[in-house]
Structure 1
Amino acid sequence: MHPTKERPVTVSITDVAEATGVSASTVSRALRGRPGVSEEMRARIVAAAADLGYTASRSASSLASGRTYTIGVVVPYVGRWFFGTVLDAAEKVFSAAGYDVLLYNLGSPEARKRFFTKLPIRKRVDAVLSLLIPDPEEAAALRSLDVPLATTVGGARPGFTVVGIDDRGGAESAVRHLVNLGHRRVGMISGASEPLHWTTPLDRRQGYLDVLADAGIEPDPALEADGGYTVEGGERAMTELLALRHPPTAVFAQSDEMAMGALRSLRRHRLRVPEDVSVVGFDDHELSEVVGLTTVAQPVAAQGREAARLLLARLDEPDAGPPRPVEMPIRFVLRETTAPPHSGRQR
């Protein structure tokens, strides 16, 4: 007697409905980004669909709609935490709704020029999620695809659904915290050399300068160092700041990864945090709580989910027009890396 070969279990939309305690129609609306479902319920449904391995029937849907059921995603740095987190969250929403992701990693000027010259994405995708900030010509090229466009970086631009945060305001809250503690020599580790039209370093730098001006503190260009938005860059930048004749008593790092590099440099210099130097980051990286980093928290994964949901909603309602920019909430998170300046170090 031969053993019976088990058939793969097919998960239906009814199974997802039963798992979440809602109707199949509610599941359908949630996975397609349609209105009428609360964000909390939508998140539960997306998670349940992913856990159960549910995907929409592609053949039936494609025949009915003429879609490719593929979403193009364009990223500048696929290996960096922010972009990877946004991409992972967005992909889960797309997958639950029955879409594949076609990824283009434009990590060099050559790759970027080649992509926008050839536009290999044309007629291959139903929508595009861009995690880079296009220049005017590149934005026009993407609009020429005549598909819904969304992004989670930069400000509002014609034809794009934008989901983001107030980078300038977040930086202000971080630097204001340090100034309110009594620090007058506040350094900043930024991404001054970041290429590809990325405006985040500029917005966060402006927030830093605004708070110094409000406090009557003359900005010192020597207190700004480029950390390249990496841990290694943050360590190099902090070492550079410590080599100054009058080093800072506090540092605002424009990302948590650079802040973690700064902490490593301070530790290697046998300096105590926060007794000798205070450090504030930005992002609330998944490891920030582990190292006790004071930071500005932004909902990175939620931005990816929201951008994906809005793209799917535009596919279902193409005549509705692009929604207004969505600004996600940020919050200041106080942990163990900040304190008033030591009386012997403040100048």
Structure 2
Amino acid sequence: MGGVGIDDVARLAGVSTATVSRALRGLPEVRESTRARVRRAAAELNYVPSPSAASLASGRTRTIGLLTASFSRWFNRNVVEGAEERLRGAGFDVLLHAFDFAPDGSRAPIDMSTMRQRVDGMIVLGIPLSPEERLTLDNLNVPIVFVGTGPPDHVRVSMDDHDGSRIAIEHLAALGHRRIGQIGAKLPYDAHWSSASERHDGTVAALAALGIDYDDTLEAFGDYTQEGGRAAAAALLDAHPDMTALFAYSDEMAFGALEELRARGIRVPEDVSVVGIDGHELSGLIGLTTVAQDARAQGDAGASLLLEMIAGSNVGRDVRFPTALVDNGSTAPAPAVRAA
């Protein structure tokens, strides 16, 4: 039958075009009885979904924009892999727009014009945006999902950063540590909703709950890289020779801290304990205790939510993934006295 479209299938099956799109593409939240009815209607009409985006209730390019910082970062790489697998399985291409932060945390402004009229939706991965960038992004007029960090008025997928910090601090405090250094991350903008900010706030809240005074001189900043973590650890060790523990906001920064400690002949964990966040695949090999998260699953979830939004569904605003402490041997009871 010539000229058959998704609207014809929807009328025959008695459902919306969005439901037809979800049913024929195997997306979730479609009852099996409804999916079967849609498939029968499509077969009766000899309807074949077009490879173009005209087969969707919304969207015209069958391409998803993915905005991310450097792929060299463990979290970003794993999220991208999870998102790409889900999107390509649904017949979508991915248009990647990646960039690097400078060592001081700054970066060039992001040019969103490259995405205009080229994408059906956007995934923004772990990037605090300026107000101007957020406005330009919203003006693309496509569904947007933030993964790893994001403003509260958008759909977000992330670990519970606040709780991740609590788990790390409570673990160290239970071992008797009170002089706990933190390796945070600099931000190009005052983004109170960023992962770094959430982890900082979680640390401060956990210390307060445990009756430990927060000392801002015990916090130094890296850039989510091993080199940045090592430099931050060096600064903290020079300033606080009595420090007995380090909590880094990423495993890669924690790897740098371990490198600096061992270069100075400081034993881990006998002299200084170290905890990271991520669950990096090398953490067990290196012997780093970490608060683990499933980054790949977050990418998959973000892509799945975006596909639902493109198909016309309403989705929940916040999806939070649980975390868990994985003890790989880099923490121990605090020493009675530690000095340089």
State the TM-score bracket (shorter-chain normalisation). Answer: 0.7 to 0.9
Indicate yes or no: 2:285 matched with 1:293. no
User: What is the match of residue 216 of structure 1?
Assistant: 211
After TM superposition, give the deviation of residue 181 of structure 1 in Å: 0.8
Indicate yes or no: 2:63 matched with 1:70. yes
Indicate yes or no: 2:220 matched with 1:225. yes
After TM superposition, give the deviation of residue 29 of structure 1 in Å: 4.9
Gaps of 5+ in 1: 1-27, 39-56
Q: 3-state DSSP class of the match of 1:273?
A: coil
In structure 2, the CA distance between the partners of 1:68 and 1:264, relative to structure 1 (3 Å rule), is: same
Greater than 4 Å deviation, 4+ residue runs: 28-32, 108-111
Aligned equivalents of 1:233, 1:139: Cα separation in 2: 27
Indicate yes or no: 2:325 matched with 1:332. yes
In structure 2, the CA distance between the partners of 1:139 and 1:272, relative to structure 1 (3 Å rule), is: same
User: What is the match of residue 112 of structure 1?
Assistant: 109
User: What is the match of residue 262 of structure 2?
Assistant: 267
After TM superposition, give the deviation of residue 313 of structure 1 in Å: 1.4
Counterpart mapping for 1:76-91 below 5 A = 76-91=69-84
Out of 101, 119, 126, which is 1:125 matched to? 119
Checking the alignment, whether the CA contact within 8 Å between 1:154 and 1:164 is kept in structure 2 is yes
Aligned equivalents of 2:163, 2:333: Cα separation in 1: 22
In structure 2, the CA distance between the partners of 1:105 and 1:32, relative to structure 1 (3 Å rule), is: farther
After TM superposition, give the deviation of residue 324 of structure 1 in Å: 2.5
Checking the alignment, whether the CA contact within 8 Å between 1:62 and 1:69 is kept in structure 2 is yes
After TM superposition, give the deviation of residue 215 of structure 1 in Å: 2.5
Checking the alignment, whether the CA contact within 8 Å between 2:49 and 2:55 is kept in structure 1 is no
Question: How many equivalent pairs are there?
Answer: 295
Aligned equivalents of 2:336, 2:107: Cα separation in 1: 51
Aligned equivalents of 2:204, 2:338: Cα separation in 1: 22
Counterpart mapping for 1:152-191 below 5 A = 152-158=147-153, 160-191=154-185
Checking the alignment, whether the CA contact within 8 Å between 1:235 and 1:262 is kept in structure 2 is yes
Instruction: Give CA-to-partner distance per residue, 1:111-147, whole Å, 9 cap, x none.
Output: 424x14xx22111111111112333433232222221
Aligned equivalents of 1:33, 1:135: Cα separation in 2: 34
After TM superposition, give the deviation of residue 59 of structure 1 in Å: 5.0
User: What is the match of residue 245 of structure 2?
Assistant: 250
Q: 3-state DSSP class of the match of 2:156?
A: strand
Aligned equivalents of 2:121, 2:285: Cα separation in 1: 38
In structure 2, the CA distance between the partners of 1:36 and 1:339, relative to structure 1 (3 Å rule), is: farther
In structure 2, the CA distance between the partners of 1:63 and 1:238, relative to structure 1 (3 Å rule), is: closer
Checking the alignment, whether the CA contact within 8 Å between 1:281 and 1:294 is kept in structure 2 is yes
Aligned equivalents of 1:247, 1:258: Cα separation in 2: 21
User: What is the match of residue 273 of structure 2?
Assistant: 278
After TM superposition, the score normalised by the length of structure 2 is 0.79
Residue identity opposite 2:152 in structure 1: R
Residue identity opposite 1:170 in structure 2: G
Q: 3-state DSSP class of the match of 1:326?
A: strand
Aligned equivalents of 2:107, 2:200: Cα separation in 1: 28
Aligned equivalents of 2:128, 2:26: Cα separation in 1: 26
RMSD of aligned residue pairs (Cα, Å)? 2.6
After TM superposition, give the deviation of residue 31 of structure 1 in Å: 5.5
Q: 3-state DSSP class of the match of 2:65?
A: strand
Indicate yes or no: 2:92 matched with 1:99. yes
Gaps of 5+ in 2: 1-21, 33-47
284-293 vs 245-254, which deviates more?
A: 245-254
Indicate yes or no: 2:209 matched with 1:204. no
Identity %: 40
Q: 3-state DSSP class of the match of 1:337?
A: coil
After TM superposition, the score normalised by the length of structure 1 is 0.77
In structure 2, the CA distance between the partners of 1:172 and 1:202, relative to structure 1 (3 Å rule), is: same
User: What is the match of residue 306 of structure 1?
Assistant: 301
Aligned equivalents of 1:207, 1:166: Cα separation in 2: 10
Out of 337, 342, 345, which is 2:335 matched to? 342
After TM superposition, give the deviation of residue 331 of structure 1 in Å: 1.2
Checking the alignment, whether the CA contact within 8 Å between 1:241 and 1:247 is kept in structure 2 is no
In structure 2, the CA distance between the partners of 1:60 and 1:228, relative to structure 1 (3 Å rule), is: closer
After TM superposition, give the deviation of residue 212 of structure 1 in Å: 2.0
